[in-house]
Structure formats: structure tokens, C-alpha cells
Structure 1
């Protein structure tokens, strides 16, 4: 159950961080306005809180592992929201990152 909870928290963290960054991008770079930027800033703040609910007590480990989730999640976001088509190297890189997440977060501890 702990691994499932952790994976769900990583998914929620990805939605809040990537979604927040996308809103800031849309508000500023695509000239949609400061309300988009403000919403993005709030979502990015929410991301910081989501990470604190991870069962592992080590900040460095959680954030390092989340880096891999962020890579894969960003590519997925781009596909769903912006119509981005990843190439083979994108997919292979994302899989490698997710394997790293599994090792860092859920590998045996000595």
C-alpha cells in the first residue's frame, strides 16, 4: 500500500508542478494574462506541499526520484495538452528515468 500511495503522490506532484509551470508559460509567453500566471504560481506552491506527504522521510531522495517522474510526466503532458509527438529518444529517456525512480525510491536499503 505504501508504494501505491507514493506513486499516486508522484502523479499528483507531476500534475501540480507541470500544470503550474504550463499555466505560467501560457500566461506569460502566450500572452494569456496574469490570471494564468497567478493560477500557475498557486499550483506550483501546491506541488511543494504534495511532496511532503511522501512516506519516505528523506527530502533529497524524494526530490531526486521526482525528477524522473517530472521528465516522463512533462513528455506526457506535452502529448496530451500540446499535441507534442515524442521521438524514440524521448521515450527511451523517459523509461530510463522511471527505472531510476524505481531504484531510488523502492530499491532495497542496506
Structure 2
């Protein structure tokens, strides 16, 4: 659940800048975007992991899948089968990283 919250915070923060710089929306959108990106960084510290790099790597798969959800829900573009296949592969990779048995 932390990964999903982090993904929404990161995507929302990045999209605020996208809206400002690419879609011509007001510059003040950068302020909530910055706050959202700070929340994203703080949320990732809540992930139970012995190594930050491993937590961030697993998060990458969740980020990709959440971005495809954003594409559909916010931007109104339905992901195609290749988007969905790629997202599934990324989630599988995230699952392997998170759930693999580790020694010591």
C-alpha cells in the first residue's frame, strides 16, 4: 500500500510540472507538485526493507503500473496490450525482488 501511495504522489508531482511546462497550465502548479514529490520521498522511507536500493528497485515496477493507470484515469488514454504486458512484466520483477528468499 505504501508503494501505491508513493507512486500516486510521485506521478501527481511530476504531472504538475508536465501540466505547467507542456500543457501551458499556471506556474503555481509547481508548488503542490513539489509538495507531492516530497511526500513521495517520505513515503518510500516507510517501506520495510533492509536496503534502500532494493526498496527503490521494487518500487519501479509499481510506479510503471501506476503510471499506466494514470494514463487511463487522468489522461483518458486507454493502455494498449503492449502497455499492459510491459506493466505486468514490471510487476512480476517487483514481486521477485520483494518476495525472493534472502540469506542472512
| TM-score normalized by the length of structure 1 | 0.89
- Whether the 8 Å CA contact 1:13–1:47 is kept in 2: the answer is yes
Aligned residue runs from structure 1 range 17-36, under 5 A = 17-36=10-29
The correspondence for 1:42, drawn from 35, 42, 48, is 35
| TM-score normalized by the length of structure 2 | 0.94
- Whether the 8 Å CA contact 1:20–1:39 is kept in 2: the answer is yes
Determine if the alignment matches structure 1 residue 15 to structure 2 residue 8.
yes
RMSD (Å), alpha carbons: 0.9
Q: Deviations 1:24-45 (Å, cap 9, x if unpaired)? A: 1112211211211121111111
Shift of 1:108: 1.3
- Whether the 8 Å CA contact 1:26–1:37 is kept in 2: the answer is no
Shift of 1:57: 2.5
Which ranges in structure 1 are unaligned for 5 or more consecutive residues?
1-7
- Whether the 8 Å CA contact 1:24–1:36 is kept in 2: the answer is yes
In structure 2, the residue matched to 1:61 is: 54
Shift of 1:91: 0.5
In structure 2, the residue matched to 1:90 is: 83
Q: Deviations 1:87-110 (Å, cap 9, x if unpaired)? A: 111101100100111110122113
Looking at structure 1, the residues matched to 50 and 26 of structure 2 have their Cα atoms a distance apart, in angstroms, of: 38
Aligned residues: 103
Task: Write out the 4+ residue segments of structure 1 that deviate beyond 3 Å after TM superposition.
Answer: none
